[in-house]
Structure 1
């Protein structure tokens, strides 16, 4: 089977690797994905963007990339889109227009339930099979929509779960993976670190070289560098994490943490206007939808100061968090790679 894949994000490619294992050798990949999985048509580093302003600057590049993918779809048996709705939804529409009978599977769907609900009818009309990773998501679609909750991909990857507090004296700092967010959070993390009587670990993406680390992170002599996020979180008593997938990873592992996020003022203003959600972290969104309350603290924009982070660390009920994290795992049930591989083969 020839499978055309569009997986632009780092997290999407981690999930894709587990999916490829389930698909086996009978599937040949083409398109956009991590180089470890084969020959991608583009270097993933060139697709990285941070916020609305950066996205506008790169529009010509993405238009050209979309056109290349539409041409490749001609020879593909099926198309798999993963996350990245800003690119993948227009791509899906272009492929559907050119090849009306092409089977298109969308895995990790656009968060149309959070904003732009008008996208839902478009998704139902354009996509052959919608693979949802959020248990409440199908309820936003019509009863006959081709959507199914397939489980959550992080439960394919995370095997360590905390059941109680066992003090290790370690705290993990995760300032994100994008240059902008790293530069905005690191001065605050450096100020916070001496306030904590702990061994500080900092998670740095493995693709950064020494020059990039020095430029983005500054003086990190007070931290121990690690590239293994799950291992670091499992070993730590607490964490300070930039908004993103890592916050849900910490929830599923059971490591108490504070979500910290500082965006460009314009990007934050636009997002706040468009997205009508009470919480930023996906763990909080999921937990509040099911149980009516937040799972962990969130500090955003000007709230992100060393003193506020320290106060949140001191005041958080860590035992309650660990118990609630177990309830979240029960809500999500299981991983998704096996079911999505079955859907791809069955269609």
Structure 2
């Protein structure tokens, strides 16, 4: 982690935690890192890589490590067989971390000066920066590397603009697209990339990562409990948010509401009030993701047991709630009321074993 360098923040930054561009630590994914190092060394690196997997498991961190590896070893034949951890005492890595390296362009959600918030997606104007970036002549024939993080956030116009560049990439240009939900990407973009599948971290690497990061945010070893590891689902980011923003308490409350014989209105009202606060964006996201994860697990449970009809019902229910949540967030509907409706409907679905579809 870099203390003295001003590293640009992103929409998903966590206070006290190094940005992917400024992180010298990567837990897990050694096989992927070895594959990429070998592909580069042998001169068979695809011009567009799609890093797919859950959010917060190290995809963006490895993307920046790979970018630095390529720029530090422009002659691929003599490149090391492994991708080493960044050395932030060197100008190359410091420039990458600070977003100042002329050969690396990091595209993510831009900050809106008018609203004082990050935009909810990546607009086409950001992708137009890619075109300008690639038209510049690289010094000494160096690589020009574009990291889109996450590519899922591109709107339709932005995605179409990027597609045109992917179809006719200039020489020595590398694209690394980060995706937490690749189903949201245009199929034509996927088809022009080499997919690299990242798996959630196992308990060992996840514990190592939390122990390492915990030193900078005050997370004690004793707080890395089996319950935290289970609910983190292999994501370092999710674990940190659970600890820092009361995620474990939120999920415990949701469990109690859904498992009750009757709908606990006072408990649901108390939870919806907490999630409705002005500073409760992260808590709301934790609630939303946990609730939807429970529904997805139910669909998966029925599918695994061969009960396809029930699995389809729960899958459709998941899709229906996803649309309702998206509409509520898009049109700024009353969040407290929206949370109450979600809890009441889902409680009824779990108690009856059959979700009500509209």
Bigger strand share:
1
Give TM-score, length-normalised by structure 1. Answer: 0.35
Q: Answer with 1 or 2: which has the greater Rg.
A: 2
